Amino acid sequence: MRAAMLLMLGWLAVTPTRAQIDWNTEPHYQPEGRLLYFEAARPEAQGALLVWPELEQTHHWLAMAPWWQQRGWELRILLPDEHQRRFDPASEQIAEQQQDWLAQLGRRLTTVLASERELPQLLLTQGSATLWYQQLVEGGTLPPPDGQIVVDTQPRSAAHQRMLAIGLARSEWPVLDLFSLQDEAAASNRQQRQHSAARRHADYTAEPLHDVNHPERQIAAWLVRQGWLPLPPGAPDYLKGRLLHETGISRPEHPGAERDPAPADF
């Protein structure tokens, strides 16, 4: 574990201009799925989290790997493809090249997500990855997740914005929408998502991302509320009083609302 942490510190020392890392040389790299895999540091895994980053953002997610491992969770970090920003998920006339790429991406993720174990399967999508993942799930290519975390997804057009808001509102799984962007466009996007989610009584929560360097703490607070992580020592009273459903998932009393997260000193 210590060796892995030192290795990750080396990755994080890479500046953005030098972020073209040769992942093939890294011990956690799995070429068949083009991802980094971090095994749970317990005999039996408690859950699995797949992170699909924005382009050129993979190295920013490496620091949280030991945190998930220590809590018995498997972590996979996909290496994103430049096509996820080049192609348009809302295009009415889809080029053959885009169709081929999306089909190939679907096959890749199907293999990555295949598991015979009964573990909570959570997805974290950042930026442009969110719309592509939404499209693959809605089209039946990928199975729905148990839960989804959306990070800084700001659609580049009104069509993308509507597509995302409707898709998140239709989700039959809980969604945590984290944002660090505070401009007017981002606020408008969030309001549209919240209104769509409220109309459909979706299990949707929007929160500002308080610490971009340690998002796992805020995500953990949400996972506790959903019943996927045990209550930490000194948990606040309102978390202790929540009753979990038989599935282990606790639904919010006011879906679609934006709220402050639980204290995240996990």
Mean pLDDT for the chain? 80
The whole-angstrom separation of Cα 151 and Cα 63 is 16
The pLDDT score that the predictor gives to residue 261 is: 46
Q: Please report the DSSP string for 136-171 in residue order.
A: HHHTTSSPPPSEEEEES---SSHHHHHHHHHHHHH-
Q: What is the mean pLDDT of residues 177-184?
A: 77
Write down the residue that tokens 């949707």 correspond to. Answer: 204
The one-letter code for the residue type at 23 is: W
Q: How confident is the model at residue 256 (pLDDT cuts 50, 70, 90)?
A: very low
Q: In which band, very low, low, confident or very high, does the pLDDT at 157 lie, cut at 50, 70 and 90?
A: confident
pTM, full prediction: 0.80
Q: What interhelical angle do 184-199 and 158-170 show, nearest 10?
A: 40
pLDDT tens sequence across 71-129: 999 999 999 989 998 998 888 888 999 999 999 999 999 999 987 678 899 999 999 89
| Distance in angstroms (rounded) separating the CA atoms of residues 86 and 98 | 9
Please check the confidence at residue 7 and state whether its pLDDT lies above 60.
no
pLDDT-based confidence at 3, cuts 50/70/90?
Answer: very low
pLDDT at 161 over 70: yes
225 pLDDT above the threshold of 60: yes
- 94-103, 122-131, 199-208, 248-257 — which is least confidently predicted? 248-257
Residue 180 vs residue 99, higher pLDDT: 99
Q: Which CATH number does 30-84+118-266 carry?
A: 3.40.50
**Sheet of 147-151, strands arranged across:** 29-30, 35-38, 73-78, 47-52, 121-126, 147-151, 175-179, 204-208
Q: Please determine, for residue 136, whether its predicted confidence score (pLDDT) is greater than 50.
A: yes
